[in-house]
Amino acid sequence: MLNWYLAHCRPREEERALLHLDNQHIETFCPFIEVKKLVRGKRVTRNEALFPGYLFLRANLDITSSATLRSTRGIRSLVRFGETPCVVPDELIHDLMLRTGDPRLSEQLSDLPRCGDKVVINTGPFKGMEAIYQEADGDSRAMLLLTLLQSQTRASFAHTDYSRL
């Protein structure tokens, strides 16, 4: 089963580890942020790892052995609790991708409805009714167009209250 794991890298070798894991067709994620620093008296903007010395990788340890991962250039070891490697929840990786603006997140979220798409309401008093997706209403809600008593009404629903048809 594919799970996300946390790997400890050698000092300042996150990018090398990312390259070599990519060559092995292992999905990786290392969040980078822009940092403004003074270098030789000048203000410089650089991309640095959010968690220096660590990166996330997604692998099936039944197929890919942890020895293979440990011997990858730039990787020191997998973070473990006792004998077993620490499994990182998918929700945490998703949240980090969202907060750092990772471009892969837009690919994963492409199944979200767009303006004009039909949706069905799953919970509440309007359960089972069809509606038309209008627009996002903040981070966790959306505006839907409902037909009630032969007139169209806009209402706000949580993203978990409806699904795309």
Secondary-structure class of domain 3-110 per CATH: alpha beta
pTM over 0.75: no
Residue 44 Cα to chain centre, angstroms: 28
Topology, domain 112-164: SH3 type barrels. (2.30.30)
Instruction: Express each pLDDT in 63-107 by its tens digit.
Output: 988 889 989 999 999 999 998 899 999 889 988 888 887 777 655
Q: Which two tokens stand for residue 93?
A: 């990786």
> How far apart, in whole angstroms, are the C-alpha atoms of residue 13 and residue 7?
12
How many C-alpha atoms does 40 have within 13 Å on its Cβ side?
0
Domain boundaries for CATH 2.30.30.30 within the chain: 112-164
Compute the mean pLDDT over every residue in the chain, rounded to the nearest whole number.
88
Q: Are 2 and 58 in contact (CB under 8 A)?
A: yes
pLDDT at 164 (0 to 100): 85
Domain boundaries for CATH 3.30.70.940 within the chain: 3-110
Q: Are 78 and 20 in contact (CB under 8 A)?
A: no
Length of the chain: 165
Count the Cβ atoms, other than its own, within 10 Å of residue 3: 15
Of 152, 134, 150, nearest in space to 142 by CA:
134
